Amino acid sequence: MTSTHPSSGDVNRRSFLKASVAAGASAAALSETAQPDAVQAAYWPKPPRVISIGSRRELFIDSHLIEQLKGAARQELHNPVARDQAIVHDAPWEGNNCGYCTVFQDGYLYRMYYRGKQLSVVGRQLITNSHPEFYCYAESHDGIRWTKPDLGIVEFNGSKKNNIIWDGVGTHNFSPFLDKRPGCPADQKYKALGGTMREGGLFAFASPDGIRWRLLRKKPVITNGAFDSQNLAFWDETAGCYRAYWRYFTEGITEQKVWKPAGLRAIRTATSDDFFNWKNTANLVYEDSPEEHMYTNQVSPYHRAPHILVGFPMRYVERGWSPSMRALPERAHREMRAKSHIRYGTGLTEAQVMASRDGVHFKRWNDPFIPPGPERPDTWNYSHLGMATQPVETASDLPGADRELSVYGKEGGWTGTSGSFRRYTLRLDGFVSIGAPMAGGELLTRPLRFTGRQLRLNFATSAVGSIRVELQRADGSPVKGFTLDDCHELFGDTVDREVVWKGDGNLSDLQGQAIRFRFELKSADLYAMRVATA
């Protein structure tokens, strides 16, 4: 629903850009060099005294709305549940290093794009050219069962009977998106970035149907990075601009003719009004996270709350040889890969989750969003759980249950001749909750200014658990008729239920005022809130 008040995410993003210019961080100054993290940290956006939320949905994936947690209440990260293998990369033009996957929903169709690539080690040499890299396409009508259509576009071994969509520049990391910019030309409804520093940088692509692609320009549109990862872009409707995210290294040299990366694998961003000219370049900053290798970024607007950008970076660590490393799955193959380079045998990866309201400053959860899990073939290796971009909504396996989120993580990144992506599910908005055990706890929000009449919650309780809500003035005094004692207890497990108080319970008269929300929780988790207009 559309808010009549400015988005706080929009305000934060604009404020950051203004602060960058004030600090001398002009687009020209940042176009070829990294913005120092210390400069960025000085402009960490602080929530305004009163946060305008309109009627939009708010998640508790960060601390933006939280004034205080009392008792046993805490923020809790939730892990998705492993489901079926979504797709197996077993075609001759695919291979065990298929990856850099993009998934998004396009009306009633789900689209998937991924790189086709095979890796093998012969002696001490890593072989990557058993066939050229291609970009491939699959589709689904439910996000669960996927098919690979014969497209007849690119020839492989004398035949065009395959699902390859692209074999030119950018096939290492081609990353499409559905362009939702108002006024976007029909023949550019789908756009993509792709390319490596060896090719000169990131190139811009467009398509009218998501299948037949063309280069928009012969020269790369972004050149200040390393790009040896998945790099992506999207239209940010909250900020009113395109936003891109790509790989850089914190040290060393990563140029087309000199490739000597050093330091950490990290993430850089910039904005653009036209998809060609990029400005406001900045390196991502994290609120309370250690320095770690972020191999990919997978950032996109969360579709149910697009003012919040959510990413699934792949954390990468080199752990070296040890008894535990040798005890992990497929030891012989691990030792064989390490003959080419030790990190190919002892590097490990897993998925994290992070969120931002300005596109630069992220709350990155330090515990894994999806850990490698039970030891089994094709897991606990380098590139395991490289995630596809964007969560999508799918039906629950439980008849009658609410829809849920599906995300897709890579398996089998090195062994054999094929790889796969596994589907994982999570409740809608279910990344992080404010939870409390039966001992009880409370959440008090910062003062919020809203538009609407119904407070609606995404929550879950036990059979004996409950949630009650009190509305308070900015000074902490309860609003008459909306106290804890006036609130009917909520219990159950649903993504959308109205809070009911004794009497009218209509919040319309409180619109535009600074109101705190006090939540009392017992054996309960609160995932999201919104003040709906109807």
Strand blocks (E) in 352-492: 354-356, 361-364, 392-394, 404-411, 419-427, 432-436, 441-445, 448-450, 454-473
Q: Name the token pair of 519.
A: 């939540």
- Under the banding of pLDDT at 50, 70 and 90, the label for residue 534 is confident
The DSSP code for 501 is B
Residues 6+ apart with CB under 8 A from 110: 103, 104, 139, 140, 141, 142, 143, 146, 392
Asked whether the beta carbons of 231 and 265 are under 8 A apart, the reply is no
pLDDT at 92: 94
Residue whose tokens read 């604009």: 14
- Distance CA(59)–CA(274), nearest Å, equals 30
Bridge partner list, 420: 88, 411
13-51 per-position pLDDT tens digit: 444 444 333 333 333 333 333 444 444 455 567 788 999
Task: Provide, rounded to the nearest whole percent, the portion of the chain with pLDDT above 90.
Answer: 84
Other Cβ atoms within 10 Å of 304 Cβ, number = 18
Among residues 252, 362, 208, the alpha carbon closest in space to that of 297 is found at 362
- Stated length of the chain: 534
Stated as kind and residue range, the H or E segment containing 351 is strand 347-351
Cα dist from 363 to 20, 44, 45, 405, 432, whole Å: 20, 11, 12, 20, 12
pLDDT number for residue 131: 87
Report the C-alpha gap between 70 and 102 in whole angstroms.
40
Mean pLDDT of the region 241-254: 98
Q: Is the pLDDT of residue 507 over 90?
A: yes
Q: What's the maximum distance between 2 C-alpha atoms anywhere in the chain?
A: 78
Amino acid found at 92: P
Spell out where 48-185 has E strands: 51-54, 58-59, 66-71, 74-77, 81-89, 99-106, 109-116, 120-122, 125-127, 134-140, 164-166, 175-178
Question: In the chain, what are the domains?
Answer: 51-77+432-532 (2.60.120.260), 81-427 (2.115.10.20)
Give tens-digit pLDDT for 121-138.
777 777 777 789 999 999
- Predicted TM-score (pTM) of the model is 0.92
Return phi, psi of residue 35, to 5°.
Answer: -75, 130
Which residue would you say has higher pLDDT here, 198 or 48? Answer: 198
CA distance 350 to 263: 20
Partnered with residue 392 across adjacent β-strands are: 406
Beta-bridge partner residues of 282: 269
- Render pLDDT for 78-131 as a digit per residue (tens, 0 to 9): 999 999 999 999 999 999 999 999 999 999 999 999 999 988 877 777 777 778
Tell me the sheet residues that pair with 524. 436, 461
Q: Is 186 helix (H, G, I), strand (E, B) or coil?
A: helix
| 8 Å CB contact between 442 and 69 | yes
Q: What is the mean pLDDT of residues 388-392?
A: 97
Q: How much of the chain is in helix, strand and coil states, percent to nearest 5?
A: 10, 45, 45
- Among 437, 492, 32, CA closest to 225: 32
Q: Cβ of 532: how many Cβ atoms within 10 Å?
A: 18
Give per-residue pLDDT as tens, 308-335.
Answer: 999 999 999 999 999 999 999 999 999 9
Q: What is the pLDDT of residue 25?
A: 36
292 contact partners, CB below 8 Å, separation of at least 6: 264, 315, 316, 317
Hey, what are 66's tokens? 């939280």
Using the predicted structure, report yes or no on whether residue 12 has a pLDDT greater than 90.
Answer: no
Q: Are 407 and 312 in contact (CB under 8 A)?
A: yes
Give the residues across from 289 on adjacent strands: none
